Chains A and B, each alone.
Chain A
Amino acid sequence: MGTNVEIEKPLSQWASAHFGAGAELKALKRLSGGASQETWAFEVVAGGVTHPLILRRAPGGVAAARSSEAVSLATEAALLGATTKAGVRVPEVLYVSAPGSALGEAFVMRRVAGETLGRKILRDEEFAVARTRLTRDCGEALAGIHAVPTDGLPELPRSLGEDQIAKYEAIYRGFDLPRPVFELAFSWLKANAPKPAKPVLVHGDFRLGNLIVDANGLGAVLDWELAHAGDPREDIAWVCVNSWRFGQSEKRVGGFGDLPEMLDAYAAAGGARFTPDEIDWWEILGSLKWGVMCMIMYSAYKTGADPSVERAAIGRRVSENEIDLINLFEGLRRHA
């Protein structure tokens, strides 16, 4: 883990180079967050103006072997640049620091004001107007992301629906903890797989928690670590998975919106025209994936890698995904 001392000097040097001599580094603070990444908040005061910024950095400045599907920080920074150009609201990248430099593998971006906590966005009065706009904002943002030309991007992992089924099924079987609902979901997904779409840039984790929302709606799309070349319906469905509705199940899009409205905004912004029932398969895959991910987190307890009570307890959330899958299957039957 990086320390303030290790980071302060190279960051100050960069601030002076970028904002001019006399630029002052302030309020450097490690934020809680992913184990695979360091995230720091800081400010630079230059010419009487305060610039709130974020540093994303490999742990200790040195990229460890990351999980196979996570993209590098340099790729993440390149994606932010490309999506900015495409008109998607993302934080502006100011600096990319190379591996081996004093700061190490890292990048600096502007800190966008707003809220990321799902429960607050869905319930607090200050987001009442934002909630009326968020569904359309998300549809437009996704259309923008999916339209980014992939030939100008660093090479991305490619993961279509069938790749994900194979990956998560292998992990699930590896645990040898049979769960009939997951078994049914794997079988059903394989038997009913849609025709693969032409791969596009997929965000990979587009949901409340990774979106900055301000009083006017969507402020910025964060957390591009899981970006890949994939099926656009994956992103559209992921924000619909009930785990990300934070208790507001009746609103399919993130607990705040209706899917037809998001799909209309998506198509109006240049995206393909999808119908809600084309999203069902992907939402079932999404719920199943999150269920297997909860099993992965529990396995960190079981193997002793993380002996915390929190890791143990997450194993008792797998059944949340099972009921979501059952509700989705019942929905399919009602519409059949």
Chain B
Amino acid sequence: MHDAPSAKELIEAVKAFIDKTAAPQLTGHAAFHARVASNVLATVLREMEIRPVAEAAEQARLESLLGVSGESVESLNRRLCEEIRSDRMSLSTEGLLAHLKSTTIAQLSVDQPGYSGLRSAAR
């Protein structure tokens, strides 16, 4: 499969269309939703850039925390939830909060990089 234009370029083109052409012609609810749509495309662009590396790191941390390998991130997260729910892991579990913090910082870097809580977490 070719990559010209790439998915990234296509999304950037749609985002530019919304920002420069469509949104200025809209008012009221439609203008609001156009802004949201543009922000969503920005989220998708960040996700394409950040997710592969961040998710690989998350997987490595989960494997080490749970002592399990060869499973998907989703399946490892289900295991982690079960460990916490059954009280086998808690706030006092070594490395748990640090892992959750790293994962959430990566997630927010995609979802809402301007969120105030992200700045607080970095301090």
Contacts and interface: CB of A to CB of B under 8 A. Distances in A.
B112 A320 contact: yes
Interface in A230-267: 242, 245, 247-249
A163 interface: no
Nearest to A242: B117
B100 A319 contact: no
A178 B116 CA distance: 24
B77 A319 contact: no
Nearest to B37: A309
Given A183-B85, A308-B33, A327-B121, A316 B112 contact: yes
B101 A326 contact: yes
A8 interface: no
Contacts of A147: none
Interface string A263-281: 0000000000000000000
A271 B40 CA distance: 45
Contacts of B80: 180, 183
B116 A187 contact: no
B119 A249 contact: yes
Nearest to B112: A320
Contacts of B118: 323
Contacts of B120: 242, 249, 323, 327
Interface string A286-316: 0000000000000000000000111011001
Interface stretch (B3-11, B48-56, B102-110): B102-110
A324 interface: yes
Given A187-B87, A309-B33, A316 B121 contact: no
A322 interface: yes
Interface string A65-100: 000000000000000000000000000000000000
Nearest to B109: A319
Contacts of B13: none
A322 B112 CA distance: 12
Contacts of A309: 33, 36-37, 40
A319 B107 contact: yes
A178 B72 CA distance: 14
Interface in A135-189: 178-181, 183-184, 186-188
Contacts of A178: 77-78, 81
Contact of A319 (B37, B39, B104): B104
B84 A184 contact: yes
Contacts of B119: 249
Contact of A323 (B43, B87, B91, B117): B117
A317 interface: yes
Contact of A316 (B43, B84, B90, B117): B43
A188 B85 CA distance: 10
B91 A329 contact: yes
A180 B112 contact: no
A183 B112 CA distance: 22
A330 interface: yes
A320 B108 CA distance: 7
Contact of B117 (A180, A249, A312, A332): A249
Contact of B112 (A191, A312, A317, A329): A317
B97 interface: yes
Given A181-B100, A242-B117, A308-B33, A322 B91 contact: no
Identify the interface centre among A186, A249, A332: most chain B CB within 10 Å of its CB: A249
19 contacts: A178-B77, A179-B81, A180-B84, A180-B103, A183-B81, A183-B84, A187-B84, A191-B87, A310-B32, A310-B36, A313-B40, A316-B40, A317-B111, A319-B112, A322-B104, A322-B108, A323-B120, A326-B101, A329-B97
Interface of B: 32-33, 36-37, 39-40, 43, 77-78, 80-81, 84-85, 87, 90-91, 96-97, 100-101, 103-105, 107-108, 110-112, 115-121
Given A180-B84, A191-B90, 6 more contacts: A184-B100, A187-B84, A242-B117, A242-B120, A323-B118, A326-B100
